[in-house]
Amino acid sequence: MGAMDKAHNDSQPFEEVPSEADEKTADTPRGGKQRRENSVLKEYGLIILYALLIAYLLKTFILRGFYIPSSSMEDTLQINDRVFVNVAGSLFSDADRGDVVVFKDTQNWMPPTTGSNPVRNALSFVGIMPDISSNYLVKRVIGVGGDHVVGHEDGSISINGVTLNETYLKDGVSPTEIPFDVIVPQNSYFVMGDNRSNSADSRYHIETRTEFINEADVEGEVFVVAWPVQRFTFTGGAPEVFANVPEGE
């Protein structure tokens, strides 16, 4: 009888024990996976948004990248150089003689361009890529407000009666092949390229009375060549060239 009872008991079906995976499935509300995926996408979207915002704020208030498209500033800056300008510095102080500055072309020195890349323009706008538009130019400040700047017949340049020894000029290039005589208005700059024979700078716009750059148009001073890597270098003004120049009127 006992053996029969044991056999009878062994023949009863076992109660199925739920697995750990089954418990997780049972605990997960319907649509939970979709909500998790949406949450991850939202987090990634916020990260990208914050990154773009930070890049834009850096470009607007601290530093901004630009691309050098011409040889007008050789040998200081080369074609295809990527440079950064100190935007913050221009917000709190004026440019000095000798500073290499990027400024907005409000005087229409450059002819209008027809083609553009909207994606690259957008990336430049937020500060992710260097600006390659023709709306900005790069030159060296020669005269500031009140300065009497003269380009002499012998090719030399003087400011307030002091002749300059411009050590930053491209080798073999004359300081100027165009005689001129100007007095820089207050809150303005007279600018020139370091490669004077290939620089359509302030000298070329005297006849149209658009030779001076307004302080408000200056984006900032170039302080570093960041690319290509082999040309990485910090740049600055040339205070030694203008050390003996007295203040203008």
Give the separation between CA 184 and CA 245, rounded to whole angstroms.
Answer: 15
Give the separation between CA 175 and CA 140, rounded to whole angstroms.
Answer: 13
Look at the alpha carbons of 203, 209, 210, 211 in this order and tell me if their dihedral is positive or negative: positive
Active site residues: 72, 139
